Structure 1
Amino acid sequence: MARVQRLCFADRPDTYRVVGGDQLPVAPAREYLQFLADRGASPNTVRAYAYGLAAWWSVLEHTNTAWDDFPTSLFGQFLSYLRTGDLPGTARIGDPEPGMAESSLQPRGAAVLSMYRYFADAHDLDRPYRRLFSSHARTSRSRYAPTLSGIGPQRDRDVPLHRRRAPSRTETPVLLPVQVNAILDGCSVQSASGEWTGSAAGLRDRLFFAVLAETGMRMGEALSLRHNDFHISGGGTPSIAVAGRDDHPHGVRAKSGARRIYIGDDLVALYSEYVWQLVGWGADIAVDDLATHFVFVNLARGQRYAPLRPETIYDKVETIRTARADVLPQNWTPHWLRHTHATALLLSGVREHVVMRRLGHADVQTTLSIYGWVTADAEMRSVAEWKNYVAGWKVSHDPTS
């Protein structure tokens, strides 16, 4: 079975490669993943494509098929393997495992199609490309829906022979206020005496999830924050400046352009307490310039005060999932807090163009296409007190967020 191997470096972001059953790097996959990295693809994209290529090579190895000479039907078997976990020709005993979600299947399939498109363009390797693509576009009158539509970018009139319908996304996942509070309390809780409970990293984790919930930032944007991005003094409305950065040593990115997001007093107090704890631990001495250093740093493992890895956040998510399985959906991710933020604002009456600027969308149509269902679902107003939930967020004073 092929697998993905992560390569860690001290002076540049991590990268990934595919290792075959012989424990040697798979040369075509390595070349294509390097091409993606050189083109400026995000580390998350490289990682997702690496897992897709590893699954493809597992199918190739299992069927003893050459990577550049395979039957067209093998790609359909590959998709079936992604959905069921059963390799071609394998008989299952017992109930099947839960299949891969369509949202995860899409980048896996796109990785294979895009790799063969790359080799067709870069090396004139047309034979495998023609096994996967047709130069004759199907007419809209066809009665039959292909099995893999929408995977991979289109080139000229070529379309994948195996196509699938894009999954329906009529609603984005939402966490109710009680669930958001369960996430925050799963990190650290303030006692009656004012002390914060939990480990040294507990307050940091609570601040991280609170930032996502109250600002709608993407995870990469939050991890890229510096202390001088917080503007909480001087008499003005407290705010956080989101800068378009791509210099995080672990490859996370602030995808949207620069913007200012106004915040409430509770988040200001939480951040201030976190900074005081950092100073109490000597971070201002250990770090050359704390003001320009990353807000979210290692406190419990790894190099102390080094920028936090996204894997650390996902480990915390898993811990909270296990501890609060009675309250939280088992498949929640940090990005749900962004969706929850946008949903809460819309349900509390904030205009769409304000939500657009706060989230960093390029245009209001993007916001409407993702969250248009929210304003149509008036019944959600009775599910929770959304206006109270956003009462501390000073969006009404935010001309640019």
Structure 2
Amino acid sequence: MFDDVEREIESIVLPHWGAVRRAAGAAPWLVLDDASAPVVPVRIFLTDFVARDNSPKSVRSYAFGLLRWWRWLHALGVDWNKATPAEGRDLVLWLRQTSKPRNLPRTKSLSTAGTINPITRKRYLDDQYAIRTIRHSPTVVRSFYEFWIERGEGPLINPIPLDPTHGRPHAHHNPMLPFRPEGRIRYNPTPPKQHPREIPDDRWRELFKALRSNRDRALLSLVVSNGARAQEILDIRMADVDWGDQLVRVTRKGTRAEQWLPASPDAFVWLRLYVADLGERIEPGEPLWQTRRRRDRGVGLRRQPMSYEALRKVLTRANDTLSTNWTMHDLRHTAALRMARDENLSARDVQTILGHAHLSTTADIYLIEDHDEVIRRVRCHLAEREQIAAQPAPDVATGYDEAVLDILFGGPRR
């Protein structure tokens, strides 16, 4: 049996084998071996993955997942086409107990890694693999082997098996949703239920004041007003701005459909100030968000399109000033929760603005009781109980059972 294989998981160290690099072919990202040559099985799979209309970001994500799998097989001395469920199981066990490799040791973040920020009440990232990363890895590997087993060139059994379903297949299928494969990946850990974290109004004002330029103020104001994802905002071009109706056009993640989103008047005020600060014309086809400094990339000094890493640096500087750990996704959560509480907006309105494919996604995440509001109501309840307990006991005739009276009056009588 495959499950009879036992390994000392704690002693396994992954080699620094291969790399993920950009490519000019059909697949925009490839996994290279130690000789800087493409890993052929992975290249063929990623080419097919692109043909199935997956985005370049998904290709990159899958490439890194398969690089980790190839390094894992090298550490175990197993050929890719001879992998069994034992290797898939042990990979999940290894990811759950090992630390992520780092190019450089922690310095400034050494004292905060894994702790909870007292202001935001959010946990700082530590050096352990996140549950979502652990779940993503076997998903990538299973998809890779499904492709090769279908071609008849892989192992007979997928090293990432599914747990069999019980009862009639699709017994409780929602007719409004597409059919999905039955069963779940056997060794996937269950992700913890996380509630969206809203930035309170006073904290948002502090964050806004900590920003250093009109560009940064305009960008964050757009996100907090319409809840667009960070990359969707960064991909906006000058032609995607409707100044008259105060709309911006974004390309949605996943579907890649174009959609016009409204933005607040304040966001457009800061946007106009940012464009005026540039002192030069942005052509309609050029990215709206530009670097503040000019760089020479072979054609003279020019501003460059703002990258996601540059946007992260904007928040990093503000967080260092405020001793917080806010993220761009917190701004999206803030916008979504503000809209969800507005009686003039329906759940369908919120779903449309956020770009969710299904209404259930919006409802499960945002149409729930606000945790802070629940705490406030419970505190009021406890305060009322204290007031009741502090009231003098009413005069009653003798002969009654004191325990019965305590129950009747909601607490011990003084």
The reply to whether TM is greater than 0.5 is yes
> 2:234 matched to 1:227?
no
- The corresponding residue for 1:212 is 223
Alpha-carbon distance in structure 1 between the residues aligned to 2:180 and 2:360: 23
Are the structure 2 counterparts of residues 295 and 211 from structure 1 closer, same or farther at C-alpha, using a change threshold of 3 Å? Answer: same
- The corresponding residue for 2:364 is 369
**What is the root-mean-square deviation in Å for CA atoms of aligned residues?**
3.5
Q: Deviations over 1:111-158 (max 9, x none)?
A: 11111111112x213525444336x82437xxxxxxxxxxxx965x67
1:291 to 284, 309, 313: 284
> 2:132 matched to 1:132?
no
Give the match's secondary structure for 1:373.
coil
1:66 to 79, 82, 92: 79
Aligned residue pairs: how many? 322
Are the structure 2 counterparts of residues 158 and 359 from structure 1 closer, same or farther at C-alpha, using a change threshold of 3 Å? Answer: closer
Are the structure 2 counterparts of residues 205 and 376 from structure 1 closer, same or farther at C-alpha, using a change threshold of 3 Å? Answer: closer
Please, which runs of 5 or more residues in structure 1 have no aligned partner? Answer: 88-95, 141-152, 189-201, 246-252, 383-401
- The corresponding residue for 1:78 is 91
Asked if structure 1 preserves the Cα contact closer than 8 Å seen for 2:238 and 2:285, the reply is yes
Alpha-carbon distance in structure 2 between the residues aligned to 1:60 and 1:214: 47
Alpha-carbon distance in structure 2 between the residues aligned to 1:115 and 1:24: 19
Alpha-carbon distance in structure 2 between the residues aligned to 1:117 and 1:215: 39
Deviation at 1:341, TM superposition (A): 0.6
Alpha-carbon distance in structure 2 between the residues aligned to 1:318 and 1:128: 48
Alpha-carbon distance in structure 2 between the residues aligned to 1:264 and 1:179: 19
- The corresponding residue for 1:53 is 66
- The corresponding residue for 1:333 is 327
- The corresponding residue for 2:136 is 107
Deviation at 1:260, TM superposition (A): 3.7
Residue identity (%): 20
Asked if structure 2 preserves the Cα contact closer than 8 Å seen for 1:244 and 1:254, the reply is no
Alpha-carbon distance in structure 2 between the residues aligned to 1:25 and 1:13: 13
Give the match's secondary structure for 2:30.
strand
Matches within 5 A, 1:249-288: 255=255, 257-278=257-278, 280=279, 282=280, 284=281
Deviation at 1:23, TM superposition (A): 4.5
Give the match's secondary structure for 2:196.
coil
Asked if structure 2 preserves the Cα contact closer than 8 Å seen for 1:217 and 1:359, the reply is yes
- The corresponding residue for 2:384 is none
Asked if structure 2 preserves the Cα contact closer than 8 Å seen for 1:221 and 1:254, the reply is no
Deviation at 1:76, TM superposition (A): 1.6
Alpha-carbon distance in structure 2 between the residues aligned to 1:206 and 1:313: 12
Asked if structure 2 preserves the Cα contact closer than 8 Å seen for 1:256 and 1:361, the reply is no
Alpha-carbon distance in structure 2 between the residues aligned to 1:13 and 1:265: 43
Give the match's secondary structure for 1:298.
strand
Matches within 5 A, 1:147-166: 160=185, 162-166=186-190
2:314 to 313, 316, 319: 316
Instruction: Give the partner amino acid of 2:217.
Output: R
> 2:53 matched to 1:37?
no
Deviation at 1:31, TM superposition (A): 2.2
Give the match's secondary structure for 1:172.
coil
Q: Deviations over 1:302-359 (max 9, x none)?
A: 55344333232234344444444x2x23xx4322211111012223545323322322
Deviation at 1:14, TM superposition (A): 9.3
- The corresponding residue for 2:246 is 239
Are the structure 2 counterparts of residues 321 and 310 from structure 1 closer, same or farther at C-alpha, using a change threshold of 3 Å? Answer: same
2:355 to 351, 360, 364: 360
Q: Deviations over 1:195-248 (max 9, x none)?
A: xxxxxxx33233222211111111232122233433334xxxx42142547xxx
Asked if structure 2 preserves the Cα contact closer than 8 Å seen for 1:347 and 1:381, the reply is no
Asked if structure 1 preserves the Cα contact closer than 8 Å seen for 2:83 and 2:155, the reply is no
Q: Which has the higher contact order (CA 8 A, sep 6+)?
A: 1
Alpha-carbon distance in structure 2 between the residues aligned to 1:125 and 1:52: 21
Alpha-carbon distance in structure 2 between the residues aligned to 1:111 and 1:127: 16
Alpha-carbon distance in structure 2 between the residues aligned to 1:180 and 1:334: 12
Alpha-carbon distance in structure 2 between the residues aligned to 1:68 and 1:8: 25
Asked if structure 2 preserves the Cα contact closer than 8 Å seen for 1:256 and 1:360, the reply is no
Instruction: Give the partner amino acid of 2:305.
Output: P
Instruction: Give the partner amino acid of 1:345.
Output: M
Instruction: Give the partner amino acid of 2:274.
Output: Y
Instruction: Give the partner amino acid of 2:22.
Output: L
Asked if structure 2 preserves the Cα contact closer than 8 Å seen for 1:8 and 1:15, the reply is yes
Alpha-carbon distance in structure 2 between the residues aligned to 1:242 and 1:219: 13
Asked if structure 1 preserves the Cα contact closer than 8 Å seen for 2:17 and 2:71, the reply is yes
Instruction: Give the partner amino acid of 1:73.
Output: A
